[in-house]
Structures are given as structure tokens and as C-alpha cells.
Amino acid sequence: MEPLYKPDGVEQRWQQTWENEGLYAAGAGRRRDESYVIAIPPPNVTGSLHMGHALNGSIQDVLVRWHRMMGYDTLWQPGFDHAGIATQNVVEKQLVAEGTSRQQIGRDAFVERTWEWLGQTGRTIMDQYRRLGASVDYSRERFTMDDPYIDAVMTFFTRLWDRGWIYRANRIVNWCPFHRTAVSDLEVVHEDMDDTLTFARYPFTDGSGSITIATVRQATILADVAVAVHPDDERYRHAIGKEVVVPVVGRTVPVIADPRVEPAFGSGALKITPGHDPLDFEIGRDHDLPQLAVIGLDGRMCDAAGPEFAGLDQREADDRVVAWLKEHDQLEKREHYRHAVGTCERCHSRIEPLVSLQWWCAMEELARPAIEALQERRVRFHPESQHRFAIKSLEEAPDWCISRQLWWGHQLPIWYCPDGHVTVQWPAPDACAECGSGALERDPDVLDTWFSSALWPFATLGWPAETAEVARYYPGDVNSTAREIIRLWENRMIFSGLFLLGEIPFSDVIIHSTVLAPDGRRMSKSLGTGIDPMEPIDDHGADATRYGLLKISSTQDVRFSYGAIEEGRKLANKLWNVARLIVTAAGPEASAAVRPRDLEERWILARLDAAREEVEGCWHRFEFSAATGVLYHLTFDDFCDWYAEAIKARLYDGDADAAATALAALERLLAVLHPVLPHVTEEIWLNLPAQRPRLIVSPWPEPDSSFAADLHALDRVQEAAQTFRRSSVQVELGSDDERRIFAAVVRPDRAKANGDAEAERARLLKEIARGEDMLANARFVDNAPPQVVEAEREKLARYQRELEALPL
RNA sequence: GGGCGGUUAGCUCAGUUGGUAGAGCGCCUGCUUUACACGCAGGAUGUCGGGGGUUCAAGUCCCUCACCGCCCACCA
């Protein structure tokens, strides 16, 4: 064993060994009946792992390794999401770069090309998980487009259909003109943009002047069917019921009253364009107004806009409309206006609200049991604030637009016959369910990618087939993910699990922190602030990276910190070296045995057990950062600086009992550290004398109360040592044991140099004065809890003794 | 506009039920004859964002203001 622990090579070796020996597989190390199941949030096949994946992987791996050591039948399910629009976006852009397009090569060729491309990316991602030391069952890799998974998706759809919860409706949707598909509200991101607000006058038909409206989308004037004002708006009361002439097109439309108009905005009068605005769509529907469309699916002006405009880019059309207004003296003014505009999450094209025929899933019946389950705490979100958010999101969830006009994804199990009958069936029907026609055509649309993600925890187990795995591993235990995905994924897994299997897929949802760049900005490729998690892993090791990420994790957003990772590296190195001390001194013939003879040996055994319990508490509460603190303190302060220093001399003397006990203590330390630092602990384990199973599947230390009484045995020695080192004041110790340990750990030659009796005297006098003040305060003594007063008295007495012991 | 969170040492952050502020890094001082200098021992540094309130006692509970961040959102 070298003095410097070098993770590179060691970690890769263990990662291969564990996987090859089947120790990552479901059920490895199983010694009890209960299962422990986590389904990894399947990364999109499009990319590589980012820092959030590394943190999330570390969190899940700690829980999984811990449960594996406790003997649970543990399954950590890996795989990928086909990520419909995200994947199509990447491949489509590749085609554009090659000077072609998906339309040119056609659907079949496009899908084939996508399959080819993701054969490479998937491999990369799984290798990155391996490099992190993630103990997922790599033999069970699943993909949301595997054939059995497709069965699950289609079954989900047909069951919803059978309940009558899926319907087709013409509604206004968010339309991405680049991808030429509808996207859900959740896939639209709002970005601040500079715009121009145009104020245009619409003349009344009776010649009594005009009414002014304000708009940022001048081209949509062509599709106006009304002007609306607020019913209580005194300025426009006279106008209600009159008619105005729409500029350019000359259409006569009514002025209506609707409370949804905001009088304070713009001119207070709103032009109504039901075909191209969600609010106008609703107002139009409630007032029985027609829907006109002037913008086509490609985002350009369509034929309905008239021959002058057809085919124009919207911006050009805007300019022409403005020119017309100016020419006819109907342009009142134009103002700079900065506002949030909806854009496509994937390609950032401006979203066009369009009326289109889409498939919807009614949410009310699906959400209700999920809301109840959350309210009854049958599933819990951590932290608690996210639990409330999850409930609120379900309560407010609008019907889910599940159809997408994409090519990459699960095609809807809907067929049409020439007579227009609709057959919904899976497996695919041979003939129309209504008329028996064999000439069926499948609906070209695919499902929203989250429709299939929602089934991840059980579709990966073979559902809808009644597999032994579903029976054994469903429901699972924990799901850990990022905050922004609660509505997209967590809630949908909850309601689909309840609907299809009658149970929620997990009992706890961990919402982990977002890892920001060191400067506090978001980590993103476009900003250049991203840090590849493989970088710290290569530089400092997977153990150090795992430790560092867990240390900085909390409930809020956290900044990435190399310092935290270096701390992890130091911990691994420290551990390596104390193991070197013990193993070398014990010799190859030694064996571990708990044979404590002296106080410090009983004390470290008690400390190890107490720390084990503290760490378990942290993990039960999902407080990963707190756990790293416990482990660091245990290793550096308790195990190395006190225990190892105290027994060092006896180890050199060849004391077999001390060596056996030290080996036993080291084994317990390694076990407690293993879930966070799996590689270095396994490597040390290998170097211990005697044959034993791999640490990864070795039992987690059992509670051991034998030495609990000695937990505080060293408190007095530690305090005496600190006093001595600081001031050269020798504090009287109570027993030979205490004096012996003091002598072994404290080296007088090093302490004296720092002694400054005068400074110490001043410090003690200050403390004593403060303590006397407090005890002289009647209100404090009368009202503080007795133990607080007593503690203050003891502190005061101790300071007095130390003061008296100071050399003059 | 709505919701949530943050503001504690030079930096990154902990602070459980109110009991008189901590860690790591950095900095200063002193230590290497057989675990580790990726180490050991010691030290300095805080009006706990501002203001008000409750309490014997507030970083912790309440109100308020300021700034920062995230999520959500149909003021065209």
C-alpha cells in the first residue's frame, strides 16, 4: 500500500469487478425478504450526463448500497427515455446541417436514422454511470421504445380510452413552427423579448370616431372578429354594441364587453383573434364568434390571409399592416415593449397559438385519487414545500394534450377506416370495429414523451404482463429527481400507478438541489458555464466527487465547489493511510476480533456505533450533506486523531489484541463509509488480512450497545488536551487510563511552544466574568431551565480551576 | 402578476424543538527520526441583510422593508 491513495485505475477496476461478479444485479447480497427499489430517472438518449445526474446518481447510489448491505433485495433500475421532441430536434438539426430535412427523407428513413444515432449515445451515458460507481443493475437496461414497453404505453392509452377519458378536440394549442407540432404548456418556456406595441384605430361603422386597440402581433389583425372592452370601463361604455371596421381586411365586427379584458393595459380595448390567442379563443367561444386563421403550421401567413399576404413571414406581414395603418391614418402610436414570449423549450422558436385538432386526456378523474394519496401522505415529497406544490399542481392540472405531430415516439393506437370510423385497439386491429373495413389507416401522431415516462417504474418490470418482477418489486421505495420535473413526471407516475396498478410506485420523492456553476449562474452549455461531471471524477476520483456533491447538496440551489470534492479526496486519502497503519502493524497473520482491553478501544467502538446510528438517521431523513459531516468527523477526529494515535504505540509493540480490535474497528468504519466512498473502502477491504466477501455485499454493522457506556469516556481527556495545548496548563485527570491516553496523544514538546499563559488568563477571566454576570441575573436563574443554569455553573467552576492551574 | 426559497466568518455553506454562533476551504503561528504535509497542533476573523415586535432569553417565532434566486403565469 502506497502512502498516497490514487483513485485512478483502482476505481475502474472495482467498477468492472462488481459488475462482472454480478454484485450490481438485482438481489445481490440479499439476506432478507423485503425489497428496496429505485427506478433511475431515465436520462434522455440525446446527450451525456450533467452535474445534476451525477448528484442524483450519488444520492440514489448511497441509498441503494446502504440497503444492499442491510440485506434487502435491492433493485436499481437503469435505462433511457426516447425523449420524443428532444431527440427529434437533435436529429432534425443534423439533417438541416446536412442540407436536407426530415420532410425530404421521409418518416421511415427519419426514424431509422434516429435509431442508428442513439445506438452510440446510450453507450456513453451508461459508461458515465459506471464511472460514477452507480450500482444500477446494468443487465436490466430498459428503453421507453423497447417492444414490451410499447405494450405498456398502448395499454395505458386503451385503458384511458375505455374509461372515456381520452377525447379529440379542436382547441387552441401551443404550436412550434419549427417542429410543426403541438406542445404542452409545460414544454413552453417564456423568454423576455423586445417588442413593439402598436396602437391602431378601428373606426366605428356609424362614423362616430374610432376605438384604439393595442397589439404586438399586427399581422393577426387580419383574423380579428371583434373588439372587446371591460363592461365597467366608463371610457368605452358607449362603444359596446357598436360595430367597427377591421383595418386592411375591412371586415365589420362587433364591440363586445368581457370582464377578462384588463382596462389598465394598452388602450383598454382588446382586439379579439380567437384563431391565434388563447384568451381570445375563450372569449370568442363564450361570445359565439367565428375563428379565423391567418397563420399556417409553418408559422408563415397562410392562404386565408389573402393573396397579398399568403406565404409572407409574420414580421413582413406585420410591417405591411403597419404601413397600411400609417397610410390610412389609423396608426396612433408605437411603443417599445419588453415582455415574456412563449418559446419552444427545445428549439426556442416563438410559439404560435393555433387552433388545431388534438387528442386530450381528461385529468379530473385521474388526478383525484392522486391528490387524496398525497394529502394522506401515502407518498411524501422531500422537502415538505415540494409536497404542497405537488398537490397544488395536481389540483390545477388542465387536461393533458397528449398528441404530437412528430415522427419519433409512440404512434397512437388509433385507426381510421375510409368511412371515418375510429378504432382504438391494441394490438393493432385487422378491421374497423364499426364497419369491418380492412382499409385502416393509423393516426400519424405520436404520444407526448411524458405519456410513456409516466409508466417507467412498472413498465420496466414487464407490466402489463403479470410478471414475477411486478409482484416482487412493485411498488418501489424512492424516486429522486430535480425540481422542475415534478409536474411533468412525478405527478404523472403517481396517478398512472394508482390508475393502472392501484398503488403509487414509491413512498418517498426526493427533490434534490439544482447544481449551479461556481459563480452562481445556471450550468448550461449555451452560457458556457457547464462542468462535465467526468472532469472532477478524472481529477479527484469518483469517491471524492460523490462525497463533494453530497456535501454541497441541500434543499436549495447550490454552487458547485471543487473544495468540497477535494475534501472528499482528502477523506479517502486519510482513510487509506490509517488503514495502512493498522494493516501493516497487524501483519498478514492477524484477524479481526473485538477484544478491547482499554478505555480508548471501548470508546472508539461506542463512537463507531453512535456514528453509524447518526448516519442512518441522516439517510432516513434524506439529509445527505449532514451525513458527510458525520463521516468526516468520525474518520478524521475520532478514528485517526484520537483512537489511532492512542493505540499506535501498542500496535508497534506487536500487541495482538490491540491489532485484532483495531482491525475490527477499521472494518466497521469501512462499512459505514462504503455507501459514500465505495471504491476506496473496497480497495482497503481487499488489503485486510483474511478472506471475506466483497464489502459491497457485506453486512451493514449491527447496532452494538456493548460499549455505549464508554461513548463519552474521552471527553475529559480531549478537553484536558485542548487546555494543555493552548496554555500548557496541566489539568488533573481522574484515572490512569485517562492519563495514559493523554500521554499517548499529546506531545508536550509540540504544545509548549504555543503556550501563552497571559492570553489564556485573559480569556478565562473574560469567560468567568460573563458566567458570573449570567448567574447574578435573577431573571435568568429563575426562568431558564435548571439544566441550563447548572451547565453554566459547571462551566464557571471549570474556568476557575483552569485559571488557578495557570503558571504564574 | 402569483408561489416558493435565500441573505450567518474572506469564500462555499451547516445551524434539529428559542438557551447566548459552527464546519470545510483560505489566512497566521508552530511542528516531519516508522499511517498520512492530500498531515498534526494552535490561532485570528461574525452588530447572523435593515427596522420593529413577542420572550427572562431570538440566527431560530411574528410583522415589515431591501436586495438576490428559482418555478409558475393568456395584460393583448
User: In this structure, are residues A360 and A401 in contact, taking their beta carbons and an 8 Å threshold?
Assistant: yes
Q: Which nucleotide is nearest to A585 (CA to C1')?
A: B35
* Grid cell in block for residue A755: 503556550
Using pLDDT thresholds of 50, 70 and 90, give the confidence band for residue A124.
Answer: confident
Q: What is the mean pLDDT of residues A242-256?
A: 87
Residue A726 has pLDDT above 80, yes or no: no
Q: What is the mean pLDDT of residues A635-647?
A: 93
- A559: CB within 7 A of chain B nucleic strand: yes
- Ranking A24-33, A307-316, A322-331, A753-762 by mean pLDDT, the lowest is A753-762
Beta strand A166-176 with A181-183: parallel, antiparallel or unpaired?
antiparallel
- A103: CB within 7 A of chain B nucleic strand: no
Phi, psi at residue A269, to the nearest 5°?
A: -115, 135
Q: What is the mean pLDDT of residues A624-642?
A: 93
Three-state DSSP at A37 gives strand
List bases in chain B with any atom under 7 Å of a protein Cβ.
3-6, 11-15, 19-20, 23-25, 29-31, 34-43, 56-57, 69-76
A469 or A85, higher pLDDT? A469
Using pLDDT thresholds of 50, 70 and 90, give the confidence band for residue A218.
Answer: confident
Three-state DSSP at A795 gives helix
Question: How high is the pLDDT of residue A141?
Answer: 94
Q: Cα–Cα distance between A181 and A402 in angstroms, integer? A: 11
Q: Cα–Cα distance between A264 and A273 in angstroms, integer? A: 20
DSSP state of A275: T
Q: Which nucleotide is nearest to A785 (CA to C1')?
A: B19
* Grid cell in block for residue A511: 427533490
List the one residue out of A159, A194, A352 whose CA is nearest residue A273. Answer: A352
- A573: CB within 7 A of chain B nucleic strand: yes
- A785: CB within 7 A of chain B nucleic strand: yes
Question: How high is the pLDDT of residue A402?
Answer: 92
Using pLDDT thresholds of 50, 70 and 90, give the confidence band for residue A755.
Answer: low
Residue A16 has pLDDT above 90, yes or no: yes
Q: What is the mean pLDDT of residues A752-769?
A: 66
**What is the average pLDDT score of chain A?**
88
Q: Which nucleotide is nearest to A579 (CA to C1')?
A: B35
- A263: CB within 7 A of chain B nucleic strand: yes
Q: What is the mean pLDDT of residues A260-278?
A: 86
| Rounded CA–C1' distance between A728 and B31, in angstroms | 16
User: In this structure, are residues A450 and A364 in contact, taking their beta carbons and an 8 Å threshold?
Assistant: no
List the one residue out of A295, A324, A291, A297 whose CA is nearest residue A312. Answer: A295
| Rounded CA–C1' distance between A477 and B13, in angstroms | 30
User: In this structure, are residues A591 and A663 in contact, taking their beta carbons and an 8 Å threshold?
Assistant: yes
Residue A749 has pLDDT above 80, yes or no: no
Residue A97 has pLDDT above 80, yes or no: yes
- A753: CB within 7 A of chain B nucleic strand: yes
Q: What is the mean pLDDT of residues A550-570?
A: 86
| Rounded CA–C1' distance between A790 and B17, in angstroms | 20
Q: What is the mean pLDDT of residues A214-238?
A: 87
Question: How high is the pLDDT of residue A757?
Answer: 66
- A562: CB within 7 A of chain B nucleic strand: no
Q: Using one digit for the tens of pLDDT, what is the confidence trace for A469-517?
A: 999 999 999 999 988 888 889 999 999 999 999 999 999 999 888 888 8
Residue A173 has pLDDT above 70, yes or no: yes
Q: What is the mean pLDDT of residues A445-451?
A: 93
User: In this structure, are residues A62 and A619 in contact, taking their beta carbons and an 8 Å threshold?
Assistant: yes
Q: Using one digit for the tens of pLDDT, what is the confidence trace for A395-435?
A: 888 888 899 999 999 999 999 999 989 999 999 999 998 89
Q: Which nucleotide is nearest to A192 (CA to C1')?
A: B73
Residue A681 has pLDDT above 90, yes or no: yes
Percent of chain A with pLDDT strictly greater than 70: 97
- A365: CB within 7 A of chain B nucleic strand: no
- A7: CB within 7 A of chain B nucleic strand: no
Question: How high is the pLDDT of residue A302?
Answer: 84
DSSP A156-214: HHHHHHHHT-EEEEEEEEEEETTTTEEE-GGGEEEEEEEEEEEEEEEEBTTSS-EEEEE
Q: Cα–Cα distance between A506 and A47 in angstroms, integer? A: 27
User: In this structure, are residues A412 and A403 in contact, taking their beta carbons and an 8 Å threshold?
Assistant: yes
Q: Which nucleotide is nearest to A571 (CA to C1')?
A: B38
- A186: CB within 7 A of chain B nucleic strand: yes
> What is the complex's ipTM, to 2 decimals?
0.93
Any bridge partners for residue A338, and if so which? Answer: A194
Residue A303 has pLDDT above 90, yes or no: no
Residue A330 has pLDDT above 80, yes or no: yes
User: In this structure, are residues A144 and A53 in contact, taking their beta carbons and an 8 Å threshold?
Assistant: no
- A515: CB within 7 A of chain B nucleic strand: no
CA distances (Å), origin A491, targets A39, A165, A166, A317, A387: 15, 17, 18, 42, 11
Residue A760 has pLDDT above 90, yes or no: no
- A669: CB within 7 A of chain B nucleic strand: no
CA distances (Å), origin A496, targets A24, A80, A367, A412, A635: 29, 19, 9, 18, 45
- Ranking A125-134, A229-238, A673-682, A794-803 by mean pLDDT, the lowest is A794-803
User: In this structure, are residues A381 and A511 in contact, taking their beta carbons and an 8 Å threshold?
Assistant: yes
* Grid cell in block for residue A246: 377591421
| Rounded CA–C1' distance between A752 and B44, in angstroms | 20
Per-residue CB contacts under 7 A with strand B, chain A residues 369-428:
385, 389
